[in-house]
Structure formats: structure tokens, C-alpha cells
Structure 1
């Protein structure tokens, strides 16, 4: 039985992301075990891959060593569904500009930059707390069954800019449009913390576990 893999790369929120996946999996009656691992061989053989993230873009990127980055590329190129959470989503972009320029995965267009517009409007950074998700019903399976008033829990000072509109599944408003959910092919990500977003987060996690891109 192939596992649902939560990648351990010295990032944050591993246990809570795994717990959210286990809860959603149990609710759905799925037989696949949820494991936390940094073993590239297990990642390559995964049923689905979850990449949590907390902290700086460059530090998280550097944590994907020892063959983990190659395993991620190989598995997702072969069609394994991928979910990036917070910095895990940000790493999907072409590059990050947090403190220094750091290459990302290049799976979606755009770069991760400081939310200067929000700061200029006097809004606090990091952007921390609940924000409404703006999405179009039926646009993507990840939003299936969400309330029209669904909110996600955000903690970040950097966000995706210069994105491709075709990749945008949902957004939030914080000194301008903030990409909240992105997806291209079998790779998707949420800027907000699915594992901290209560009913909305569990629904999105369940949708990911059932997703057949």
C-alpha cells in the first residue's frame, strides 16, 4: 500500500500537517498510511506528497538535500499529486526574494516577494489570522464543498507575485490580491495553513486526497 508522504526536511508543522492528513484520510476511509519521511525512495513511491513549510524560503529550499529535491521532481513529473503548504507552496514558484534570491522549483510562474503594498497601507506584517477565500465554485476540485464564506488561517510576510492567472484557484485580500491556492497539473499549494484552518482546512485536505488530476 503506497503511503501518503509528509516530507521531513527540517521544516515546521510536520506533525500537525500529518495529523490533518490522517484525520481527513480516516474520515474518507482511505487505507493508505500517512508517514513523515525524508527518504527519497519513499517519496518516489508515494501515493501523494505533502510539503509543509514554516520559516524562510531559502532555509526551506536548503533543507531539500540528499536527493529529496530530485525525488520530488521525479515523483511529481510522473503524476504523483503534490500539495505544498505555506512555504511549501511558495517553493513551487520560480524564485524567492526573502533576504536573498533563491531558486524555487519553477513549477508555476512568479516569484515570492515581501508584501510591501500591505505594509505601505499600514497593515501588519506578518499577515497573521483568518482571511476569506475568494474562489469561483466549480473551478477546481480542491474547492469542492467549501462554504461561500470559507476562511483560511494565514501566517506570512511574503507572497506570490507576477503569477499566471491560469494557476490561481483562490485568493485573499490583504493590501491587494494574495494568491491563496494555486494549482498546475498535479501540483497544488495553499499559502494559508490547511492544518490550522479547521473545517475549511480539513475539507481541502480531503479534496486533495481524493483529487485525480
Structure 2
């Protein structure tokens, strides 16, 4: 296998690459569609704003690559904003469309006594605990989150894991060889490394 990590000028790329190294996999950066030649597993990490991410992916010619990759059901992992941008639109940047691979909208946590962003460790409720992507994690694994927004998929069957922070939200989706997570595997220590091992086994 050959791992490609998309570099759109933002995101904690070094942390992601280091965590894959801990999982026994060396990755290289994908800045143009040509950089993806020979890649078998593609990762879109994300730190920053929904609109900025979507525009940079389009500007670098990477949006069509991502669309074709996912439509061909090749192994793909989206992390945080790299998960959010797969949807149609977001409250964070109303005028900028997402990649629109899945129907749904990215919304902000409602006002409450809880602090926003949601930051820290939280427990997942797994939709299908026997799914190979969750292998070796137990029934209620904890992962690390840092976010103010979360996707609301129109198709509830996509939801692979939910989490509660004031409201219950889709912490991860799964379809075919696609996995996308609102939490950060690269900040989630042993379970994060296990998730990346499981991903590269797809």
C-alpha cells in the first residue's frame, strides 16, 4: 500500500504523518493530483475553517481527485474539517459550498452552558461495534475532539459513531472504504494509532 496525505496549506500534517508512522506506515504529501499517482489510501486531515478548506482544495485541483477517489470506493480517511467538507454546506461559511459528496449540512453547537469549542476526550457510541474499523477498541472507545461545528448527514445510515456534547451528533461516518471522523485520531494516543492501523488494512 502507499499512503497519501493531502496538503492544502493547513492542518496538523506532521502530527498525522507521525501517528501513521507509529502505526507502521510511511506517508507522503499530496499537493497536486499528480502527487496521488500510485497512492492506495488517501487521507484528508483538517484544521481551520470549512470554507477555507473547500476553496483551497478546489484551487489546487484536488476537489475532483477526492470526488473520483470516493466515488471509486478507494480507501479514504477524512479528519475533522476533512470530514465536514465532504458535505454540501456549512454555517461557518454560508457562501462557500462544500464538496457535496454527501447530502447534509455542517452546523454549530447550540448555545448552552457547555463551552464551545467542544475540546477534550469523549466517548463514542458505535453503530456497528463489529465493523473492522473499530477492531481492538472495546465497545465505548474514547477519542479526542476539538471542534465548534459538526455535520448532520441526511442519510442516517452513514453514521458509524455518535457522541454527546449537549446534543448527540455524528462523530464518524462510514461507507464502503470511506471513514471520516470529527475526532482527531492523531491526538488520541493508542486508540488513534489503532484506528489508523485499521484504516490502512481496508
Q: TM-score, normalised by structure 1?
A: 0.87
C-alpha distance in structure 1 between counterparts of 2:171 and 2:46, whole Å: 15
C-alpha distance in structure 2 between counterparts of 1:41 and 1:186, whole Å: 22
* SS at 1:173 equivalent: strand
C-alpha distance in structure 1 between counterparts of 2:83 and 2:37, whole Å: 19
Q: How big is the shift at 1:196?
A: 0.1
Q: Which has the higher strand share?
A: 2
Gaps of 5+ in 2: none
Answering whether residue 139 of structure 2 is matched by residue 148 of structure 1, we say yes
1:166 to 130, 150, 157: 157
Q: TM-score, normalised by structure 2?
A: 0.92
* Deviation sequence 1:123-157 (CA, Å, 0-9, x none): 10000000011114545221122122411100000
| Count of residue pairs brought into register by the alignment | 201
2:168 to 177, 186, 196: 177
* SS at 1:111 equivalent: strand
* Deviation sequence 1:61-98 (CA, Å, 0-9, x none): 11112321112222332332110000001111122221
C-alpha distance in structure 1 between counterparts of 2:79 and 2:180, whole Å: 6
Give the superposed CA RMSD: 1.7
Answering whether residue 54 of structure 2 is matched by residue 61 of structure 1, we say yes
Partner of 2:105: 111
**Closer/same/farther in 2, CA of residues 69 and 95 from structure 1, 3 Å limit:** same
Q: How big is the shift at 1:192?
A: 0.5
Partner of 1:10: 9
* SS at 2:93 equivalent: coil
Partner of 1:19: 18
Answering whether residue 82 of structure 2 is matched by residue 91 of structure 1, we say no
